[in-house]
Amino acid sequence: MALLLGWRKEGGSVMKSFLIKPVLDENYKKISHGKGVFLYDEDGKRYIDGSSGAVTCSIGHGVEEIIEVMNEQAQKISFVYRSHFTNEPAEKLAEELARVLPGSLNFSFFVNSGSEAVETALKVALQYWQEKGQYRKTKIISRWMSYHGITIGSLSLSGHTDRRFRFVPLLDTSPTIHPPYCYRCPYDLTYPDCQLKCAAELEVAIKRIGADHIAAFIAEPVIGAAGGAITPPHGYYQRLKEICGKHNILFIADEVMTGIGRTGKMLASEHWNFVPDIVALGKGLSAGYTPLAAAVVSDHVMEPIVMGSKMIMSGHTYSANPQSTAVGLAVLNYIEKNQLVSESLRKGSILLNELRKLQVKYSIVGEVRGVGMLTGMEFVSDIFKRIPFRKEINLTNFIVMKAKENGLIVYPSSTGIEGDSGDAILIAPPLTITEEELQLLIDLLDKTLYEVEKHLQ
Ligand code: PLP
């Protein structure tokens, strides 16, 4: 699979895609257009977008209503610097987020990417303690098997070894505790007899580091890119929230992938009845129509900042630009009007059911998991011993490539910690997918897994 590209001028005036991994994927085509759950490449080949890109295009492609709003906003104003003027779409989007999000998550700080949203959340957490005179509370605890972003601060918190290893000397803190990875429990225990030892580990880490030094704990409610939709057992998040409360540590939920209805609730945190102190949103906030993300902060966290220095010491040139926030507002309206949050829960359970049928059919499928329309499949060479495939096989990329050949887009994930192997994919189609299209997705995945298994024999 081609991972990432830039564009290089090669002779004359022709711009050529410059692939970092140029040889692996002959199907790396130019995109032509998209409509609904389908994408079409330059040769007219159709793909079903089974992962909403990078779990982003939650309302599908080419939605007329959104395009109209983009046009209308561009006629009025596309950019204004936030220190000079406020703007109506940003104000309205912040108001709408305060309405639809739980608890007192009433303050939105808009940025352009999930990584920036996490960076902002991190800074707000530190600033909160500074405003309260607790200058030593600077560390953030995070988990292995996590992905919080690609910038140095957010990567510091990420337990995604492949993305970290080159930059370790620049990274500040490291992930400290294990994830709730029941399929291969780090303690070799089974839920519920384990008594949630992986959650209790947070308290051990706090005691080791010292609560006086810790500003916050950060977690993705469902682990996406680094875990293939790892979904925690019941009681896990309540336990973590209790521990954070007991030791005066803020809870940041990284809902960049899970937020805005992806899992069948506006925030995935709502499945486990907890309200984070700060939330990072991205991806589904603009459903991919324009770059937009946000750090959303609870009243009790904002209070000392409002009473103290009165400003959040962060921001980007494009923060809260009217073009992006107008799109965010239109996407949120569209999601509500079409009841896509409840639809995500309903269709997600159909999807999970169908994936479980494939699990029975194919011996390489170790586990199927997820919630709402964020589902994952983990692959193993031995389903009884749960042994991963060797890293050299590069199975995830092979599956993603085969699926693409068959006209299906899925998202590569991984479950390997500290260089270990571990193959997984995310299946997370637009929330707008019809049941018929869902069946097509399953049929194409079925075909792909058949071919992959045959290849491995
Ligand atoms: N947080 C989570 C949970 C993510 O899944 C991602 C991206 O995949 C990010 C943060 C980073 O977002 P971005 O790629 O928009 O910077």
pLDDT (tens digit per residue) in 206-224: 999 999 999 999 999 999 9
Average pLDDT on 145-156 reads 95
Closest by CA to 289, choosing from 245, 315, 328, is 328
Q: What separation in Å is there between the alpha carbon of 13 and the centre of ligand 1?
A: 34
Average pLDDT on 127-152 reads 96
**Other C-beta atoms lying within 10 Å of the C-beta of residue 83:** 8
The response to whether residue 115 sits with its C-beta less than 6 Å from ligand 1 reads yes
Residue count of the chain, please give it.
457
CB 279 within 8 A of CB 253: yes
Whether the pLDDT of residue 244 is over 80: the answer is yes
CB 214 within 8 A of CB 177: no
The response to whether residue 218 sits with its C-beta less than 6 Å from ligand 1 reads no
**Cα angle: 77, vertex 111, 331; to 5 degrees:** 65
Whether the pLDDT of residue 24 is over 60: the answer is no
The response to whether residue 118 sits with its C-beta less than 6 Å from ligand 1 reads yes
Nearest-CA residue for ligand 1 atom 8 is: 225
Average pLDDT on 181-190 reads 94
The response to whether residue 449 sits with its C-beta less than 6 Å from ligand 1 reads no
Whether the pLDDT of residue 372 is over 50: the answer is yes
The response to whether residue 153 sits with its C-beta less than 6 Å from ligand 1 reads no
Q: Which residue type is seen at 165?
A: F
CB 219 within 8 A of CB 253: yes
Q: Among 147-161, 178-192, 357-371, 417-431, which is the least confidently predicted range?
A: 417-431
What's the pLDDT score for residue 175?
81
What's the pLDDT score for residue 18?
56
Query: Pocket of ligand 1, candidates 52, 115, 116, 218: which has the most ligand atoms within 8 Å of its Cβ, to mutate?
Result: 115
Ligand 1 nearest atom to the CA of residue 255, by list position? 3
Q: What separation in Å is there between the alpha carbon of 115 and the centre of ligand 1?
A: 6
Q: What is the mean pLDDT of the chain?
A: 93
Q: Among 160-164, 286-290, 309-313, which is the least confidently predicted range?
A: 160-164
What's the pLDDT score for residue 26?
66
User: What confidence category does residue 258 fall into, taking pLDDT thresholds of 50, 70 and 90?
Assistant: very high
Whether the pLDDT of residue 162 is over 90: the answer is no
Percent of the chain residues past pLDDT 90, beyond the cut: 85
CB proximity list for 227: less than 8 A, separation 6 or greater: 145, 146, 179, 181, 376, 413, 414, 415, 424
| Rounded Cα–Cα distance for residues 30 and 45 (Å) | 11
Q: Among 44-48, 96-100, 326-330, 391-395, which is the least confidently predicted range?
A: 391-395
What's the pLDDT score for residue 21?
52
Dihedral Cα 270, 276, 302, 254, nearest 10 deg: -100
What's the pLDDT score for residue 110?
97
The response to whether residue 155 sits with its C-beta less than 6 Å from ligand 1 reads no
Give the pairing of strands 293-298 and 105-111.
Answer: antiparallel
Query: Pocket of ligand 1, candidates 58, 146, 148: which has the most ligand atoms within 8 Å of its Cβ, to mutate?
Result: 148
User: What confidence category does residue 23 fall into, taking pLDDT thresholds of 50, 70 and 90?
Assistant: very low
pLDDT in tens, 92-137: 999 999 999 999 999 999 999 999 999 999 999 999 999 999 999 9
Query: Pocket of ligand 1, candidates 220, 231, 252, 256: which has the most ligand atoms within 8 Å of its Cβ, to mutate?
Result: 256
| Rounded Cα–Cα distance for residues 147 and 156 (Å) | 10
What's the pLDDT score for residue 22?
45
* Tokens of residue 333, six digits: 């309206």
What's the pLDDT score for residue 96?
97
